[in-house]
Each structure stands twice: as structure tokens, then as C-alpha cells.
A and B are shown apart, each in its own frame.
Chain A
Amino acid sequence: MLKNKFYAKFLIMVGAALFLSACANTNDEAMTEAPVEAQPAPAPAPMEPVQTGPAPGSQEELDQIMGGMDGSTVYFAFDRYDVDASARNILQAQANWMKSNNKSIVVEGHCDERGTREYNIALGDRRANAVKNYLVAMGVSASRIRTVSYGKERPIGTNNDRNRRGYTRVN
């Protein structure tokens, strides 16, 4: 996450530089156009102090423990909602993390786009509840887990295998 922030800043600065040079080029080529008014370059953003690690019980901590956002996601087979072996490992780690704090979480259920809207909303609810049930079986209190199904309305990419997923986020 911290690393990402640095990357983001780096990209913004590179982007700004590219933008400025692009402007310059445009002016060179389009001689007939009125010159663009010179503007002061934005001052570089001040450096933030580097943190020692994500706050306990935060989304960042969960993601870090799980090895990124991807680690907080379990995947399902087409039209299925059973928690398979690889999903169980992830959910076991999530359950352990849940026991180390008192946070509540939201489990999102998602489907791929190759299905009808209403059926997929129901299927996403099945998936989110399958994840919840597994966490409860691992000893997490059901009252700390909310589920929400987005059906097929929130894909994360064009790969349908990765859109059939349950994602755990800190509430």
C-alpha cells in the first residue's frame, strides 16, 4: 500500500512532466495558434512521514496479511458457490485475523457477466454467504460479518474467472 502511494506520486510527477512537454510540442507545431500562457509548475507535494506499518484491524493490514487485495478474494467455479480448498486457506487466514481484532467485515459476492442480472444477484448472495458460513465455522462471530451481493454489476476485469469471486473488506 505504501509502496503503491509512492508509485502513484511518481506516476503523477512523470505524468505532469509528459503533459508539459506535450504542451510544448503542440505549441511548436501549431504556430498559428495563440501561445499558451506560461503557468508556474505545481510545487512538489510534501513528503509524508513513512509509517511503520498498517494500523491494526485496518483494510491495509488485512490486505498485507493476505498478500494484497487479491489475497482477500476467493474465487468460484462457473455457477458454483462452494468454497474450495484454495479458498479455505485464504478464509482460514482471514478468520485468524478476525480473531486478533474486533473489527467487522463485509463479504461481497460477485458473478461473471455471462448470466442474467437477477439470477446473478441471487448467486452472488449465495457466494457471499458461503464465505460467511465458512468464517463462522472457523469461530468468527456471525454478527461481525455483513454480506452484500453485487451480482454481475461490479466486474474487476475482462477475465470472467476472476469476476466470480467473494471479496472481504473491513467495514
Chain B
Amino acid sequence: MTHLKILLIALIGIIAGTISAHAVIEIDITRGNVQPMPIALANFEGSEAAMTSSGSVRDIGANIAQVVTADLERSGLFAPIDQRAFINSGAASTAPQFANWRAIGAQALVTGSAVLEEDGRVRVEFRLWDVLAGSQMTGLRYFTAPNNWRRIAHLISDAIYKRLTGEDGYFDTRIVYISESGPYLDRIRRLAIMDQDGHNHKFLTDGSYMILSPRFSPSSQEITYLSYYNDTPRVYLFNIDTGRSEMLGEFDGMTFAPRFSPDGKKVIMSKAERGNSDIFAMELSTRRIQRLTTHSAIDTSPSFSPFGRQIVFNSDRGGSQQIYVMDSDGANLKRISFGEGRYATPVWSPRGDLIAFTKQLGGKFFIGVMRPDGTGERILTESYFEEGPTWSPNGRVLMYYKKYPYDNRGGGGETQLWSIDLTGYNERQIITPLDGSDPAWSPLLNSR
């Protein structure tokens, strides 16, 4: 938390003249298969002579433009125009010649600059232009250490996304996941973390014991997960800044499937007693544990609603795996999934409007969403095996993992991270150094 704040960014604020009266261009991200908006992203101007530890300011400016371009392109909502098609370079120092940008089909234009300050920080500015209306839509200025330019780029991506869609972005975020390696019958599974776009990748455990199902705290630099340390599966809390981990409570039985409450003060999880898994909530400050379900069936994969009033979870109490919702104290329990097949790993959207799930039917696996009352089921993707959706903080994108079938010669079994828009379009692989599973999306870093 603190080191992020130090690295960051005194956001000075909106550059004068920002607010145009009425935006002409906008993207409605609630509609499926929107036509990606053509957008021109010019290199941020900077001096080649101004050297920093991360290269010249000119390089930093070009790198920022590249990262913003990649962010926006991956969202599926934008079609960045190849810089080689530009008629103008997109200098930030002069007002854009809108006719030249209209001529190459751009609807939006981003210009910017990077300047080395006397104190060693870099000042980065950008402006987003409505090419059709010929007006500025937004403009922001950031100060940061030169080696922090990537985060500035993601913040700019978020600002552009927000101005053009009306909703928060998800680019200044990180992913924690399980890095998998080794042959199918002897996999090493360890904790890893990276930026949302795969950069700044880091292993957090050495693989000498298995880690599964990591989840981000919404309010701190902490992760909770299932660890097989000492061959004893238990839920742990891990601090990203210090690298220290601790077991959450001493219990006779296994604890697993942890997830934070929206305020970060509790962890809900499954606890097994003599083979029977029920759902419990643990208050982190007191380590007091409260039982929420009492049933001889398997109750697992709990997830809070955004305000913490309800919990969705997975149970086979009806004879097969289905999705149930209850109040956060365990009252008013009801089943919400009634479609064909088995339902598992329900996760409440941060917007509250949907629950994402894994479905298993007819030898295939699916990722889908339904409303919290169980209506409106929609399947987004299917394959031989996929599971474990996690929401982008704005509730518009899901990330999950796929596994490929193995064969009798010992091949296959690879796992990969993938993401898809809520609209069901724009499915993309998230490239990881080794195989990956169990992704968990962080909140917007700057919002903590």
C-alpha cells in the first residue's frame, strides 16, 4: 500500500479547458459486439537528450503510447490506428489539425508529452480529443519516478476508457495466479503475480509446496489462498509487500476456498470436519470464526455480494452441484441455478448485477453469468475444460483458465489464462511465462 503511494503520482489534476460541453463520441459497452472505435495514439513527445534511469524521456513517451495502445486494443472496444498512417505526428505542443485525423478515420486522438523535472521525476501529460467535434475531452498531468512510467500508461488508459465509456477502467490492476510447470502427473504449482497485461511478472513462492486459489484483498496488499505447506492444506494470508505468510486459524480439519469480504475485514472459506465441508466466516482482527452453513453436503466456493450483505456459494445438497445464495449470516438460503448440468465457482460481480460461474454439461465446461436471482443465464465461452472466473474491477471482463486434454503419451494437460468481455466477444489469452491457472484480479490499485 505505502510503497505504491510513494511511487505514485502526484496527480495534479485536470488541465485547463478539459470539459467539452457535449461529447459527440462515446462507446456503449453494455452492447455486445460493438464496432471498435478507431483511435489515433501519437507518441508522447519528449526530449532525446533528457536521460533517466529508464532511458531518454523521448523513449519513455514512446513506450507510454505503446502500452496505452496495447491496453485499449486488448479491451476490444478500440481499434488503434497504425502510426505509419498518420498524416501529422500528433505533436502535443500545437492544437491538432483535426481534418488530418478525420482523413485517416480516427474518431478519437490522444496526444501527450513527457518532460524530465529538475527533481528527477518525469512529468507526463496527455489530452484526449474528439476528432469529429474538434474538441478536447479530457487532459491529465502526472508526476512520477521515471521507472514508474508503466503505471502512468495504465492510468492514462483508464482515464481514456472512462471518458469514452462512462465507466471505470481496469488497466491499473494486477493479476495473482497459480503458475504451473512440470509434467501432467507431477505438476509444480506456485503463486505468481503480474500486471494485468502480463508485465512485471514475479513468482511469490518457490514451488516446494502447492498453492491454489489465490484471491486479492480489496483493501490491502494481501492475498489469501490455499497452501499445502507441510502437506497440510490450510488457508493462509500473504502480504505482498513483506512476503510474509501466516496460517488463518488452527483447525483440525482442512480449510480451503477462501475469499475476502468487500471491506477486507473478513475471509469466508470452507472448513472440513470429518469429511464434511461447510462455510465459515473469519473476522481477521479477532480471528473469530462464525459458522454459516450446517449441512452434510459439500458447501464451498463462497463469494460475497459487493456490499457484503449476501453470499453466493456452491453446494451439492440437492444431489448435484448447484449455486445457492444466502444472507451473510446464513439466513434465507435459496438455490438459484436450475439449468441443465452442474454449476460451480460462483463469483459475484463487483457491480452486483451478475454472478459468474463454471458450468459442466455433456463432457464440456462453460463460463457463464446469471442474475443473482438465477434468471438470465448466459454462456460466454466453452471448451474441454475451463473454470474459475474472476471479475475485472469494473465488472466488464472475466478472466479464467482453460486446460487442454492430455493424451496417453503424456502430452497435453496445459493450462492457460484467458479473458472475455461480458458481452461474450473478444476472448483473449493472457500470456504467462509458464502455464497458469486460478487467476484473481486485483481492485484498481489507485483506489486503495
Contact residues of A with B, CB < 8 Å? 79, 81, 106, 113-119, 121-123, 125-130, 133, 147-151, 153-158
Q: Are B226 and A119 in contact (CB under 8 A)?
A: no
Interface residues contributed by chain B, number (CB under 8 Å): 43
Q: When A and B form their complex, what is the total count of cross-chain residue pairs whose Cβ atoms lie within 8 Å?
A: 95
Q: Are B254 and A149 in contact (CB under 8 A)?
A: yes
Note all chain B residues with C-beta closer than 8 A to A121. 212, 226, 233, 254, 256-257, 300
Decide: B189 and A119 in contact? CB cutoff 8 A: no
- Taking the closest CB of chain B, its distance from the CB of A114, in whole angstroms, is 7
Chain B CB count within 10 A is highest, among A121, A126, A154, for A121
Q: List 5 A-B contacts (CB under 8 A).
A: A113-B385, A114-B385, A117-B387, A148-B233, A153-B210
A127 / chain B contacts, CB cutoff of 8 Å: 275
B403 / chain A contacts, CB cutoff of 8 Å: 113
Question: In the bound complex, do residue A118 and residue B256 qualify as a contact, i.e. CB atoms below 8 Å apart?
Answer: yes
Interface string of B243-259 (1 = CB under 8 A from A): 00000000001101100
Complex CA distance for A81 and B321, rounded to whole angstroms: 15
Contact in complex: B406, A158 (CB < 8 Å): yes
Given contacts A125-B275, A148-B231, contact A118 B407 (CB under 8 A): no
Whether B33 is near chain A, meaning CB under 8 Å from some CB there, is: no
Within 8 Å by CB of A122, from B228, B272, B406, lies: B272
Residue among B213, B231, B298 with max Cβ neighbours from chain A (10 Å): B298
Partner of A157, one of B185, B212, B358: B185
CB closest residue in chain A, given B253? A125
A122:B185 contact, CB within 8 angstroms: no
Could you tell me if A123 and B298 are in contact, using CB atoms closer than 8 angstroms? yes
- A116-B438 Cα distance, complex, nearest whole Å: 11
Query: Are A125 and B277 also in contact (CB < 8 A) when A118-B257, A119-B298 are?
Result: yes
| Further 10 A-B residue pairs, CB within 8 A, beyond A81-B275, A155-B184 | A113-B403, A115-B360, A116-B314, A121-B233, A125-B272, A126-B277, A149-B233, A153-B187, A153-B210, A158-B407
Q: Which 5 A-B pairs have the closest CB atoms?
A: A129-B275, A116-B344, A122-B277, A122-B298, A118-B257
Do the beta carbons of A153 and B213 come within 8 Å of each other?
no
